[in-house]
Amino acid sequence: MKKFNWNYPTTIWVGENRIKDICLACKKLNIKKPLLVTDNILASSEIVKKTIKYLNDQNIILEIYSDVVGNPTGTNVDNGVIFYKKKNCDGVIAFGGGSGLDVGKAIAFMSGQTLPIWDFEDVGDNWTKANSDKIAPIIAVPTTAGTGSETGRASVILNEKTGVKNIIFHPKFLPSIVILDPLLTVGLSPKLTAATGMDALAHNLEAYCASGFHPMADGIALEGMKLIKKWLVEAVNNGSNIEARMNMLTAASMGSTAFQKGLGAIHSLSHPINALNNIHHGLSNAIFMPYVLTFNKNIIENKIIRSTEYLDLDEKTFNGFLNWILDLRNKLNIPHKLSDIIDEKDFDLDKLSKMALNDPSTGGNPKKLTIEDMKTMYQHSMSGELFI
């Protein structure tokens, strides 16, 4: 596999074994003592051990922080900032799936701030409160092809006091260098490959459908969906296929780049479920996808039909697109109903619907949403009834 260097606008180093360039990335950013942020499982993995060896061989001594949970919390970030300062680190290597990347970026950001992290929630111009000169340099190394957090300007962090997942935003959350190495994703299980791949699809799809005028984002999102259509099932069924892994990593980064245009109700419905029921974000996105698609049909139908041409679907209609999504979920063993993974007694419809309506992703939905709309979509996702 050839190696490529992209800038859009993030510097992205792409290709097999590019993790060996981690030392060069540190030197380019003048990072002499990095903090590698990852989760507990990855911290003891072979890929992390090899990364440490590459750094140590170049006399770069790093610290590791791995107090990171699947739906990362403010405490994870706060403790990481304390550790970062205690160890006199001067940059962050955010390593792993969405949780490791989000916490790593947040630690780099908060290492130079005096206000609480929640003051920088993506509302209005909160980001202007930050001291932009005190944000540590970030190298992002994704090991899953899902969130695309490596090319994102935000982190999604759970506020334990409120039970709400907040989007913390600042333009300098954008990592300075990203390393996309497909070998780092080879060990991902088929189940997680499927869930993270559907997360990437949700990002590209919602960016494409989001309200507003942003042809650049639309173009990126369309190509991201096409890559996923071609490579996701192969990556799940044959995890050692490096080409499939590389294309899924690329599609994930594209999704995050595209959704600066906006997201929508798939994410609005997912975030409360992730926060209150600890469900994997990619899995919940996959479950909600057809319910939100059909709910938004009267607004997005023409745009979806146009996408079927580029995706080369057999049936170039809205229902043709929907059937592709349903068939893809079936091939990936994604449950059709939310009730397949959440018990009715653990499902607080009123609380979830209120949280979903207040989620920052709601504003990007093609159709203006009400609390009753959120309740209806949740109810349909529990029963399995689509809006057709």
Judge if 163 and 269 occupy the same domain.
no
Considering the domain architecture, whether residues 228 and 133 belong to the same structural domain is answered as no
pLDDT digits (tens, 9 = 90+) for 250-300: 999 999 999 999 999 999 999 999 999 999 999 999 999 999 999 999 999
171, part of any domain = yes
Q: Are residues 222 and 103 part of one domain?
A: no
Three-state secondary-structure class, residue 14: strand
Which structural domain range is residue 160 located in?
Answer: 4-184
- The per-residue pLDDT for 9 is 80
Residue 360 lies in a domain: yes
The pLDDT tens digits for 172-199 are 889 999 999 999 999 999 999 999 999 9
Predicted pLDDT of residue 32: 96
Q: What pLDDT does 2 receive?
A: 79
216 and 360 both lie in a single domain? yes
Domain C-terminal end among 130, 159, 184: 184
Asked if residue 374 lies in contact with residue 268, where contact means CB atoms within 8 angstroms, the answer is yes
386 CB-contact burial (10 Å; exposed 0-12 / middle 13-18 / buried 19+): middle
Nearest CA to 249 among 170, 142, 127, 358? Answer: 142
Is residue 48 included in any domain, yes or no? yes
- Cβ(373)–Cβ(295) under 8 Å? yes
Q: Which pTM value belongs to this model?
A: 0.93
Low-confidence ranges of the chain (pLDDT < 50): none
Predicted pLDDT of residue 370:
98
Give tens-digit pLDDT for 298-315: 999 999 999 999 999 999
Task: Give the per-residue pLDDT at 48.
Answer: 96
Residue 218 lies in a domain: yes
Residue type, 115: L
Q: Is the dihedral of CA 344, 167, 257, 173 positive or negative?
A: negative
pLDDT for the residue numbered 1 = 72
* Sheet containing 63-65: order of strands: 4-7, 11-14, 177-180, 138-142, 91-96, 34-37, 63-65
Are 143 and 195 members of one domain? Answer: no
**Could you give the angle at the alpha carbon of 38 between the alpha carbons of 36 and 39, nearest 5°?**
150
Phi, psi of 83 (to 5 degrees): -65, -45
Q: Which of 160, 184, 208 is the last residue of a domain?
A: 184
| pLDDT value, residue 158 | 94
CATH number for 289: 1.20.1090.10
pLDDT score of 351: 96
Q: What is the pLDDT of residue 3?
A: 86
Give me the number of domains the chain comprises. 2
Residue 388, domain member (yes or no): no
Cβ atoms of residues 195 and 280 within 8 Å: yes
Same domain, 54 and 165: yes
CA 77 to chain centre: 17
Q: Which CATH number covers residue 74?
A: 3.40.50.1970
Q: Indicate if 84 and 198 belong to the same structural domain.
A: no
109 domain residue, yes or no: yes
The reply to whether 136 falls in a domain is yes
- Pair (177, 195) in one structural domain: no
